[in-house]
Amino acid sequence: MTVGVAGLGLIGGSLVKAYKAAGHEVLGWNRSRSVLDFAMLSGEADGPLTEENVSRCDLILVALYPEAAIDFIRRMAPHFGPRPVVIDCCGTKRVVCAACFPLAEEYGFTYLGGHPMAGTHNSGYKYARATLFRGAPMVLVPPVFDDIELLARVKELLAPALFGSISVTTAEKHDEMIAFTSQLAHVVSNAYIKSPTAASHKGFSAGSYKDMTRVAWLNPEMWAELFLENRDRLLFELDSLCDSLAAYRDAMERGDRDELIRLLAEGAKRKEEVDGR
Percentage with pLDDT > 70 across the chain: 100
Higher pLDDT, residue 122 or 79: 79
Percentage with pLDDT > 90 across the chain: 91
pLDDT at position 203: 82
pLDDT band at 205 (very low <50, low <70, confident <90, very high): confident
**CATH of residue 77:** 3.40.50.720
Domain boundary (117, 141, 169) is at: 169
Q: DSSP H helical segments within 168-277, as ranges?
A: 171-178, 184-192, 207-213, 220-229, 231-254, 257-275
Q: What is the pLDDT of residues 126-158, one digit of tens each?
A: 999 999 999 999 999 999 988 999 999 999 999
Domain boundary (117, 151, 169) is at: 169
Instruction: Encode 116-125: b = buried (16+ Cβ within 10 Å), e = exposed.
Output: bbbbeeebeb
In this predicted structure, the answer to whether residue 122 has a pLDDT above a threshold of 90 is no
Average the pLDDT over each of 72-86, 126-140, 202-216 and give the range with the smallest value: 202-216
pLDDT at position 33: 92
pTM of the model: 0.91
In this predicted structure, the answer to whether residue 91 has a pLDDT above a threshold of 90 is yes
pLDDT at position 88: 98
pLDDT band at 120 (very low <50, low <70, confident <90, very high): confident
Helix (H, G, I), strand (E, B) or coil at 212: helix
235/230 Cα distance (integer angstroms): 9
In this predicted structure, the answer to whether residue 277 has a pLDDT above a threshold of 90 is no
Range of the domain at 206: 174-275
Same structural domain, 41 and 137: yes
Count of domains observed in the chain: 2
Other Cβ atoms less than 10 A from the Cβ of 203: the count is 5
